[in-house]
Amino acid sequence: MTDTIKASVAMLRVIESYGVDHLYGLPGGSFSTTMDALYDEQAKLKFIQVKHEEVGAMAATADAKLTGKIGVAFGSAGPGATHLFNGLYDAKMDGVPMLALIGQVKQSAMNFDSFQEMDEVPMFGDVSVYNRTVTTAESLPHVIDEAIRIAYQQHGVATVVIPNDLGAKLIPDTPYSSAESYREPTATMAPNEEDVLAALNLIKSAKRPVLFVGMGAKNAPDEVIALAKRLSMPIITTAIAKGVLPDDTEMHLGSANRVAQKPANDALKEADLVVMIGSNWPFAVGNLLPEQKFIQIDNDSSKFGRRHHVDVGILADAKAVIERLLALTKDSEPTAWYNANLANIKNWRAYLTMMMNRTDADGPLGVEPVFKEINRISTADAVYGIDVGDINMNSVRYLNMTGEQKWVTSGLFATMGYGVPAALAGKLSFPDRQVFNLAGDGAFSMVMQDIDTEVRNNLQIINVIFTNRQLGFIVDEQEDAQQPRFGVYMTDNDYAKIAEAQGAIGITVTKQSELAAAFDRARDADKPVLIDVKVTADRPIPVEALQLDPAKFSAEEIATFKERYHADDLVPFSAFLTEYGVAEK
């Protein structure tokens, strides 16, 4: 006689077979048979009960971004399902694998306008690469197995709707998973030699080339640095690729556009050749110029030409292309263009250091000294969950990452409220590492209830909340558009007390003299900590709209700009180009 197993247990064992050891959700009546199975499987698959399904979905996407392993979250029928959408769209737009399990009323109640019944498959059609309703108990583990394989293969969301009665039914206890035989597709195809030679000819003929590096080059940091040195190409990275290269890398200019650093914007405006490696950068319009030559290296040919006309496209793995370029070239003396960029990044880093070292023990507290403390207590392999808003901008500038640390945020979708779930994922995926949640008060207030999730699961996360009592990123946009400040101000909540009410350690900092003790306590704590830092509402320096160049701005405009942003020692890029004999465009 064939042994039997509950269909829901068989489903969870398929998920376990792919190396998943935790998943997120909030129970509901239409998900009760899966909850019963989670009880049975809790020794192998940990259920993380969140306070809002959105947090669970965003944590699952952060899992995938941090580890490469599929993230899993669930929601019950109706509102539980719809609450998942922010996380699912984050996974879709940043191209990471995620499995969404969706509750549904039992089959006999379907199509009767039952309580919380919805036609869920159409709702998830746009966000999913795989979207099915299970129709038999026997097919449930098979559908889950197929969903996971397709989520990996297509780097997206697989959605499975499960009528609640199916999970309790007994099915044959036979193998349902293909995890042992499944191999994720790899893009290790060798580059076409003609394409590589064509790219090399363009690079050699360029006077002002730059490397533009995205997440597609995350497995080749040493090769990227070697190529940049050899061919005198400064490196620009996307914001979400922060951490791929150590921040102190000599020719690393940082990211471009608004969540950016000055040297990257400076170089991009002056470049005559952009070599884009493994990036689908969405801010091309207004930053990449039509007259610039453009080489694109990617393992997905559908991305060629999406952001700029392509002069040479190389369909291959980034590391393989770079290794071939290195094999075809020899070391040479750095060019004047390269040296001008090195001088520019040195000047910019001195400015950032000055901002972090500004001292006013009892005066208004800016964000920069806070980052100095974060850097001071951070371990060499710390994980940073970064929320959305001014915190993105400040983090890409002031976090000094080692190359071993991890940094995760909501990239293309840019959903606020990402810091808490990202930190949850960081600590669950890397329990032995130090983990931070960095967020502004606007974003944190959307998800602050899930400090409780940190506490209940004993996750020693350091939450740093930058309370400036406004939606700073939007305030700046209203300023730039010359609009009145409207709808952008926040209540000055006591977030430390809110954290304490949930069982965490809460610390409030109002002046610089209190910072060191607060961060020492957070570093040494054996439970979640929230530091509510009451900071000024000063605007971060707008590197996309600098007023430093006397050829473009009046002395009065430059003086006003420098005074506002403490930028007396910032030098316009034009001065370095002149110093090193590089003609401006």
User: Does residue 404 have an active-site annotation?
Assistant: no
Spell out the residues 6+ positions from residue 209 whose beta carbon is closer than 8 angstroms to its own.
203, 231, 232, 233, 271, 272, 273, 274, 275, 337
**For residues 167 and 170, what is the distance between their CA atoms, to the nearest angstrom?**
8
**Beta bridge mates, 361:** none
User: Does residue 53 have an active-site annotation?
Assistant: yes
The single residue of 47, 107, 116, 230 carrying the catalytic annotation is: 116
User: Does residue 564 have an active-site annotation?
Assistant: no
**Beta bridge mates, 22:** 46
Spell out the residues 6+ positions from residue 517 whose beta carbon is closer than 8 angstroms to its own.
none
Report how far apart the first and last C-alpha atoms of the chain are (Å, whole number): 81
The single residue of 477, 557, 579, 584 carrying the catalytic annotation is: 477
In whole angstroms, how far apart are CA 39 and each of 17, 68, 399? 17, 27, 41
What three-state secondary structure class fits 159?
strand
User: Does residue 388 have an active-site annotation?
Assistant: yes
From the CB of residue 457, how many other CB atoms can be counted at a distance below 10 Å? 16
CB 25 within 8 A of CB 81: no
Residue with tokens 């499944």: 182
User: What DSSP letter does each residue of 243-282 carry, written as one string?
Assistant: TSS-TT-TTB----SSSS-HHHHHHHHH-SEEEEES---T
The single residue of 5, 48, 388, 391 carrying the catalytic annotation is: 388
The single residue of 9, 41, 53, 368 carrying the catalytic annotation is: 53
**For residues 538 and 362, what is the distance between their CA atoms, to the nearest angstrom?**
17
User: Does residue 474 have an active-site annotation?
Assistant: yes
The single residue of 121, 310, 377, 474 carrying the catalytic annotation is: 474
Crossing angle of the two packed helices 221-230 and 318-327, in degrees rounded to 10? 40
The single residue of 13, 132, 258, 324 carrying the catalytic annotation is: 258
The single residue of 42, 49, 115, 184 carrying the catalytic annotation is: 115
User: Does residue 258 have an active-site annotation?
Assistant: yes
Rg (CA), the chain: 25
Catalytic residues: 53, 115-116, 258, 388, 473-474, 477
